[in-house]
Every structure is written in structure tokens, then in C-alpha cells.
Amino acid sequence: MKDIFEVSGLLENINNLFNSNLYLKDIYIRGEITDLREAASSGHKYFQIKDEKSLLKCVFFKFLQKSSDIFNDGDFVLIHGEIEVYQPRGDLTLRVRSMTKEGLGDISVEIQALRKTLESEGLFDQSRKRFLPKFPKSISVVTSPNSSAWEDIKKTISDRYPLVNINLVATIMQGKNCEDDVIRSINYANQVGTDDIILISRGGGSEEDLMPFNLEKIPRAIFSSNIPVITGIGHEDDFTTSDMVADVRGLTPTSAAQLVVPDVKQLKEYLKRMSTDINRNLEFYIENKLPLLLNFNSSVNNSFEKNIINYFQAIDNYETNLIKNLTNNILNKISKFERIKNSIEIYNIKEMAKKGFSMIENTNMQIIKSVSDVELKEEIKILMSDGILNSIINKKIKE
């Protein structure tokens, strides 16, 4: 007998099919607005878009609209959005992310054509995408040094996993030079080759601001990278061609930062739970083995006393070795936990400063590791345990 669906179950299955389709989740469509209305309480716009043959229902939520989004029935528009089924009524609906009067149409058509080309070449294939290292030692962050995205990423990574080294690759993330500069930064990180992950990120913006990440050059540079790439471009609804090529996509800069490193606090909790489980299993094993041994002792014949004694000795030796091995395992986990804890404390710059060490940065907040990193007359900051010293380089002596 064939499967029989409930109405809601059928519509849910159709929605799942739509959600798994790459193009229906990120589609551009043009047509003429008709039956436009705006909900008085929410400000959401409801309308239909049509061509000579068909009509499609659309919804444009208030929080996605701009002050310049003024449309009327009869306007010919280009819409960027995703297809879904509105389950309560079974309506096929286009959920609008952005909408412009026709004029940007040629660019959008080019983006769709580019995506089809890149997909045919295998740039979107999940099978070729790489996993990110679970415990990276060093990360390249390709972003603007003066952006809120950089501040969010730096804080999130430092809070979650202070053992990792964060290398900022200062990059222009907007405007006519953005495309070439992002490619330069990706290539630079690959040439240096010391980082485990490249994180490309910028905050939200208009479609024009994000356009370099929808064109061909940056996605191809991401594809050619020898180092795994994660993107955190714009807001959750901003889905660029670069995101589609990257090994991993973060919905926002902060989300991407959370994906690249583990949380030390969670690691500590995991070790604690594992130690508790080992102790509980050990106690359970001993409690359950003792009655078995006593029952066996009472059921055997006295003539086999010697064999029984030998058997008990073997059991005792087995239990002793088991307890010893489990104890060593627990001690090893505790030792590993202490090493992680000590490493965190060692990398705490304030603790190091109290011991006489300090950290030196240039005005771009880049850590100075060598005399070659500074120039004469360059201003530097010396971070102490209780404040900051500003200084200027008057002489360089390299040993």
C-alpha cells in the first residue's frame, strides 16, 4: 500500500524539498507587482508578482525593508528571495529578502549565470569541502582592522579558546578595491602557510556592498586555497556566492568565530563528566562482580579447593589490573586537564606581565615579535599588567 499523507505532513515534506534545493533558497526573479497591500499593524507587504502566464504570491517583511522601498501596483521589479510553502493555507510563496525596481536586473542575471557555471565545475560540491581542524593552533582573519566584525571575532575566539594564535590580515572589505584585496589576502595566508584556517568576514551591508563576494574572482580564490576557508559575511539572510564555495559558512562574523574554535569551558565540563563516569562504572563493576564470586564459591565442591583458590587469585589479579588501568586513565585525564589549565594561565598576558614580561603592539594592534617588525620613529604601545606605555623607536639593534 502506498504512503498516505496528512495534509500538514504533505506540505511539510514539500517545504523540506524546497529547503534542500540550493536555487530555491537563493533565487532572483523579475516580474510585475499586482494586488499590493501593506499590513497596518506590522508594516509587512503582501503582493503578487506576475508575468504574461503566471502569478506568484510574495511577502516582504518589515524588518527587511529599507526606507527607499516604495513600490506600487504595476511596478516591474527584480526580487531576491526564497521559495517556501505557507503551510496553514498551502500557498506557494516567495519570501522577499530585497526588491528593486528593474535596473539591477542584468547584474542579478549575471550572478545566477555565474553560479550555474561554478556549480557545473564542481565548486559547490559538498564532497570536496574540507573539515575545519577541531583544535587549531593559528587562524588567519581576513577582514578590515577597524570593523566591528574584527572586534567581535577577536573577542569571541579569545573568550572561547585563548590558546589559539589570531593573525589579522588587514583587508579592504568594501568598494572597488575590495575584490582584488581579498584575493591578495587569501593568497598571502596561503603563501605564509602557518595558519590552520582562513576566516573571511565582514558585517552586513547593501547588495552593492556585498557584490564583490558574489562575483567570480573571490569564490575562485577560495576554491584554490590550500587552507580550509570559513566565511562570515553579512547577516544571516546574506547568502553570497563566496559562502556557497567556502568549506564552511558562518551565518554572521560572530557565528563564524564560534565555529572555528572549541569552548574551553565545555572541554573542562567534558573531562569532569568523563572522570565521573569512569568512577561510576568502576564502582558498578566491583559491586556486580562480588556476588558472582561468592555464589561461585558456595557451589563448588571442596575437592576443587585448590583450583578455586587459583581462580580467585586470577580474578583478584584481573580486578587489580583493571583498577590500576582505570586509575591511570583517570590520572592521565586529570593531568591533561591541568596542562590545559596551565597553558591558559601561561597565555594570560596579565599574569605574564606580573612576572616582568610585557606585550608590544604597533598602532595597528599587531603584536611585535622582532626588531624587523618596526621602523625607526615608529610609535609603539607596551602593555604592562597595570597599564600601557607609549614609546617611539629611536634605535634598532638586531642580535
Domain map (residue ranges) of the chain: 7-103, 126-260, 269-346, 352-392
* CATH, domain 126-260, list 3.40.50.970, 3.40.50.2300, 1.10.150.120, 3.40.50.720: 3.40.50.2300
Residue 68: per-residue pLDDT: 67
Closest CA to 234 of 221, 220, 249, 246: 249
Strands 248-249 and 229-233: parallel
What pLDDT score does 250 carry? 93
Query: And the C-alpha cell for 182?
Result: 581579498
For the chain, 399 residues long, give each residue's pLDDT as a single digit of tens.
567 778 887 888 887 887 777 777 888 998 888 888 888 889 899 999 988 788 999 999 998 888 767 888 778 899 999 988 888 888 889 999 998 887 444 566 788 889 999 999 999 999 999 999 999 999 999 999 999 999 999 999 999 999 999 999 999 999 889 999 999 999 999 999 999 999 999 988 777 788 899 999 999 999 999 999 999 998 887 889 999 999 999 999 999 999 999 988 888 888 888 888 788 887 777 777 667 666 766 665 555 566 667 767 777 777 777 777 777 888 888 878 777 665 655 556 666 666 677 778 888 888 888 888 888 888 988 877 678 888 888 888 877
The DSSP bridge pattern shows strands 76-86 and 27-38 to be antiparallel
Residue 359: beta bridge partners?
Answer: 383
> What is d(CA 258, CA 242) in angstroms, rounded to the nearest whole number?
19
The 10 Å Cβ neighbour count of residue 86 is 14
- DSSP code, position 215: S
pLDDT for the residue numbered 176: 87
Q: What is the pLDDT of residue 133?
A: 93
What is the residue-wise DSSP string for 223-266?
HH-SS-EEEEESSTT---HHHHHSSEE-SSHHHHHHHHS--HHH
**What backbone phi and psi angles, to 5 degrees, belong to 306?**
-65, -45
DSSP letter assigned to residue 151: H
Name the class of domain 7-103.
Answer: mainly beta
Q: How many CA atoms lie within 13 A of 241 on its CB side?
A: 26
Number of residues that make up the chain: 399
pLDDT, residue 139, reads 96
* Residue 58: how many other CB atoms lie within 10 Å: 23
For residue 329, give the DSSP letter. H
Chain Cα centroid distance, residue 95: 25
Separation between Cα atoms, residue 304 and residue 201, nearest integer Å: 76
Query: What confidence score (pLDDT) does residue 105 get?
Result: 44
